[in-house]
Structure 1
Amino acid sequence: MVSGTQPIEVAQQGQVAVVTFRGELDLEDSVEAALALHSALSDTSTAATLLDLSQLTFADSTLLNTTLRAIAAHQTAHRPLVVAGPLHNAIARLYAITGTLEILDPADSREDGLHRIRRLRTAHRPGFGGEKQD
């Protein structure tokens, strides 16, 4: 875990690993960002990941790549990953220009993101409305 004043923070909220990116992230931060997302993915005490970009004011294409790789890794692991905003204009523009904003489908807020994760997890659990039990 990194302290709350750092540009990259990993925390736990219930069964959700919350990765927060703050300020400006670029090539220098790409390894730490990727490690944070991998740490969230491999955390066995959690069942989903929330990527909070609401405090991120600048990012370059390395963050775009890191985000897309994390989404793919989470999908392969059948683990929900939800991106939360609101996105700063520069961040929204980065994702919009590259056509990835629709893929990310960011939640409006951290709370909305956590609610979406709860819905996703409930929908995919046998006996909780998402799948029929045999």
Structure 2
Amino acid sequence: MQWESGATVRVARHERVFEITVRGEIDYDECDLLRAAWAEADESGLSATLVDMSEVTFGDSQLLSALLEAQRRHHARGRLFVLLGPLRDGVLRLLTISGTLDHFTLASSREAALRAIGY
């Protein structure tokens, strides 16, 4: 499934992980796309969700809020939530300035994430 706006959010269900690919600028108008993706990830029941953020060119407090919400939902259900990078400067700055960078599991690539979670 794919939703499009000023950004693109794609979701894919794999054998053991759910993958979300986010591209473009994420602000208030696009956060509903992310929340719909989180809902699909929840419905999948898979043990891990990988969120490819490597092509996110802008993110504001709404992106941060959506990421924290998804992480909280995953952890409450005992599921892994991993952000894939490398993160662009604006997203990295958002997470760093907000003091939330260390709250996320980060991986430099999909392959690194899969290795780190034992797949």
Shared fold by TM > 0.5? yes
- What are the within-5 Å matches in structure 2 for residues 51-90 of structure 1? 51-90=51-90
Q: How far apart are the structure 1 equivalents of 2:41 and 2:61?
A: 21
Long gaps (5+) in structure 2:
none
Deviation at 1:37, TM superposition (A): 1.4
Q: How far apart are the structure 2 equivalents of 1:99 and 1:32?
A: 24
Q: Which residue of 1 aligns with 2:108?
A: 108
Q: How far apart are the structure 2 equivalents of 1:89 and 1:81?
A: 21
Question: TM-score, structure 2 length as denominator?
Answer: 0.90
Q: How far apart are the structure 2 equivalents of 1:117 and 1:9?
A: 22
Aligned Cα root-mean-square deviation (Å): 1.9
Question: TM-score, structure 1 length as denominator?
Answer: 0.80
- What are the within-5 Å matches in structure 2 for residues 1-134 of structure 1? 1-2=1-2, 7-44=8-45, 46-118=46-118
Q: How far apart are the structure 2 equivalents of 1:118 and 1:3?
A: 30
Deviation at 1:15, TM superposition (A): 1.2
Given that 1:49 and 1:80 are in contact with CA atoms closer than 8 Å, whether structure 2 keeps it comes out as yes
Given that 1:41 and 1:48 are in contact with CA atoms closer than 8 Å, whether structure 2 keeps it comes out as no
Relative to its length, the structure with more strand (as a share) is 2
Q: How far apart are the structure 2 equivalents of 1:41 and 1:49?
A: 9
Q: How far apart are the structure 2 equivalents of 1:25 and 1:3?
A: 13
Does 46-55 or 88-97 show the bigger shift?
Answer: 46-55
Given that 2:3 and 2:33 are in contact with CA atoms closer than 8 Å, whether structure 1 keeps it comes out as no
Given that 1:17 and 1:43 are in contact with CA atoms closer than 8 Å, whether structure 2 keeps it comes out as yes
Long gaps (5+) in structure 1:
120-134
Which structure has the larger Rg over C-alpha atoms? 1
Alignment-mate amino acid for residue 87 of structure 1? L
Q: How far apart are the structure 1 equivalents of 2:55 and 2:8?
A: 9
CA separation of 1:3/1:62 partners in 2, compared to 1, >3 Å: closer, same or farther?
closer
